Amino acid sequence: MQKPVYLDHHATTPLDARVLEAMLPYFGAKFGNAASKTHSYGWEAEKAVDRARQQVAELAGAEAREIVFTSGATESINLAIKGAAAGGGHVVTVSTEHKAVLDTVKRLPRVTVVPVGTDGLVDPAAVRDAIEADTVLVCVMYANNEIGVIQAVREIGELCRERGIWFHCDAAQAFGKIPMDAQRDDIHLMSLSAHKLYGPKGVGALYVRRKDPRVRLDAQIDGGGHEFGMRSGTLNVPGIVGFGEACAIAAREMAEESARLLRLRERLRAEIEASVEGARINGSLEHRLAGNLNVTFPGVDADALLMNMPDLALSTGSACSSATVEPSHVLRAIGLSTRDARSSVRFGLGRFTTEEEIDYAASRVIESVRKLRALAPIS
């Protein structure tokens, strides 16, 4: 069987061959522990980690010592939220955040969840109004993992700075896809993951601002004081090297790649909208990642649609919640009915997506929607 056309790049991205090439030596001859300070094997590993830390920092608009390596964005989010709110206080977040944020804040005593509009965007004024006298942290994701909308991060960061409140941003989906600058955007904590930008799985980072103001977190993993005392554990040197190389590639190619993906996405959108009656795009088109399209096909069960197209790799929402039977909390938050939420499909285009694949995917989706509607006409 031919490999399915992969259009699920929000779940994960394929490892770029250039990233793998950079990693390979650290699985073999360069196997040292970066914490070993007494011999050349450790020094070599530490040097590689330092270089990767600088590469990640440059893409994030940060200083190298502000990058704390973790196992991925979920761990980074937990460290940011639990570490910042360890002393108590009120936290503000948004209804369309990733489950890694929403499930983490459930463990806190006082949280306000701000709703979004039908376009998926949160009004910064609503965030401002949710802030209380003892608010210690605001959490707003940079770009949504299901509908791809990009929030007004700079404006929210500015209001947090004015109130003296730390601002955490889950940037896992946006990092490496759009330009960002943690300093400029007044972000204090920013969660990142390598496998969302053609790097390896199992490695991520947390940006922790060191000045104006310096953010201090309670560590969530103890045992050796690694990563400036914020995250103990032997560093995943091959993964970190791969993360750094993925960032370096993104820094060079981001603008061209984004423009190409936008052309492909709009080609896909035009085909679907012209050929599928009632198809609706979910979320703002103006403020959106170039590679994202989330479409409702009224009257068609999305799971049945995907089962009918084993030659396409698509999803109905977040990979982290794909095993649940509940409809997408993101789509429900923007006002979709349960029925329409269950009729929605996420398309995630990526670096290696071709024009031919887009045309093939469009034809298969159109064909399958028509087939399923013929079997069960829209009432």
Place of tokens 């998926």: 120
The 3-class secondary structure across the chain, one letter per residue, is CCCCEECECCCCCCCCHHHHHHHHHHHCCCCCCCCCCCCHHHHHHHHHHHHHHHHHHHHHCCCHHHEEEECCHHHHHHHHHHHHCCCCCEEEEECCCCHHHHHHHCCCCCEEEECCCCCCCCCHHHHHHHCCCCEEEEECCCECCCCCEECCHHHHHHHHHHHCCEEEEECCCCECCECCCCCCCCCCEEEEEHHHCCCCCCCEEEEECCCCCCCCCCCCCCCCCCHHHCCCCCCCHHHHHHHHHHHHHHHHHHHHHHHHHHHHHHHHHHHHHHHCCCCEECCCCCCECCCEEEEECCCCCHHHHHHCCCCEECECCCHHHCCCCCCCHHHHHCCCCHHHHCCEEEEECCCCCCHHHHHHHHHHHHHHHHHHHHHCCCC
Tell me the catalytic residues. 320
| The one-letter amino acid at 254 | M
- d(CA 174, CA 196) in angstroms, rounded, equals 9
Place of tokens 């250039």: 18
- CB 19, CB 197: distance < 8 Å: no
Angle at which helix 355-375 crosses helix 237-275, to 10 degrees, equals 60
Place of tokens 């490695």: 203
